[in-house]
């Protein structure tokens, strides 16, 4: 491939942490520890892909959660509440993330082939830098070493769904044409990030947030259950605007060849 210059990969649910389990479970725990307030795993997944402070703020300001908060505490949630939950969240997340640092089956082989062919591997995450400072070396022990890592709190303008983390990858990697980059993500906000950056976008339906099950939980389902969840996940990411949706990063090479052909014909995202 001569026209694709870089992939910008998300982390949890895309390369590591099948089902994007680490962040969602910790959100539930942080709300419970911080204020003895209950949110469900499904609610915690709603803003997935955003920076974690923004994620917590978005959760607290959803009508359902905000209403329950007011009923429990007699007031609406504030930024100070967001700060407290975030401060509770951070040490829990740092402790948890290394347990989910192993790359998803099939992803490393693809990444290594692409790197060997000259394609650069950038990355960005909803995790802030203190979490990435733990996750990056833990994943490196398994052999995942991207060419660039950008955390959600490293861009002055903000994180997802804005384009800034993806574009910071472009700058650090020295890519001269944004249309030569492919953004790969398992969350709606991550797909929007890629679209806002002017990149090709590929959504991952099965291994990440859209289904939200660990590999063991996924494999325990019967075929009809898997098909129903897959259909919903594909629809969610397609509706978000993803140019392509596939099951896993392990399945990406045929799609990259199609994008390569489109770039060769002068097409843009």
List the beta strands (DSSP E) in the chain: 6-9, 120-123, 181-185, 200-204, 244-246
Annotated catalytic residue 83 = no
Q: Which of 2, 5, 17, 52 is catalytic?
A: 52
Residue with tokens 């969350």: 187
- The CA distances from residue 146 to 136, 163, 222, 227, in Å, are 9, 19, 35, 32
Handedness of CA 19, 110, 154, 62 (dihedral sign): negative
Which is nearest to 250 in space by CA: 110, 98, 53, 51? Answer: 110
Which is nearest to 144 in space by CA: 11, 2, 5, 4? Answer: 11
Residue with tokens 């996750």: 135
Three-class DSSP category at 127 = coil
Three-class DSSP category at 148 = coil
Q: Which of 5, 10, 81, 186 is catalytic?
A: 10
Annotated catalytic residue 52 = yes
39: Cβ contacts below 8 Å, ≥ 6 apart: 27, 28, 31, 59, 65
- How far is the C-alpha of 195 from the C-alpha of 157, rounded, in Å? 17
Supply the residues annotated as catalytic: 10, 52
């Amino acid at each position: 491939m001569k026209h694709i210059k870089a992939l910008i990969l998300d982390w949890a649910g895309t390369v590591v942490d099948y089902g994007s389990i680490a962040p969602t479970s910790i959100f539930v725990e942080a709300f419970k520890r911080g204020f003895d307030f209950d949110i469900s795993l499904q609610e915690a997944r709603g803003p997935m892909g955003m920076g974690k402070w923004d994620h917590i703020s978005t959760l607290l300001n959803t009508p359902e959660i905000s209403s329950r908060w007011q009923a429990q505490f007699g007031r609406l949630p504030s930024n100070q509440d967001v700060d407290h939950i975030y401060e509770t969240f951070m040490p829990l997340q740092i402790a948890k993330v290394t347990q989910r640092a192993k790359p998803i089956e099939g992803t490393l082989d693809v990444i290594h082939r692409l790197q060997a062919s000259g394609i650069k591997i950038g990355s960005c995450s909803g995790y802030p830098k203190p979490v990435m400072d733990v996750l990056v070396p833990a994943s490196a022990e398994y052999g995942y070493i991207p060419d660039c890592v950008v955390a959600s709190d490293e861009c002055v303008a903000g994180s997802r769904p804005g384009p800034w983390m993806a574009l910071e990858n472009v700058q650090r990697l020295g890519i001269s044409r944004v249309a030569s980059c492919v953004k790969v993500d398992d969350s709606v906000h991550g797909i929007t990030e890629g679209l806002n950056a002017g990149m090709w976008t590929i959504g991952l339906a099965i291994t990440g947030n859209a289904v939200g099950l660990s590999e063991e939980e996924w494999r325990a389902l019967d075929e009809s259950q898997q098909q129903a969840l897959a259909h919903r996940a594909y629809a969610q990411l397609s509706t978000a605007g993803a140019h392509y949706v596939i099951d896993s990063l392990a399945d990406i090479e045929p799609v990259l060849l199609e994008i390569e052909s489109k770039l060769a014909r002068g097409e843009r995202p």
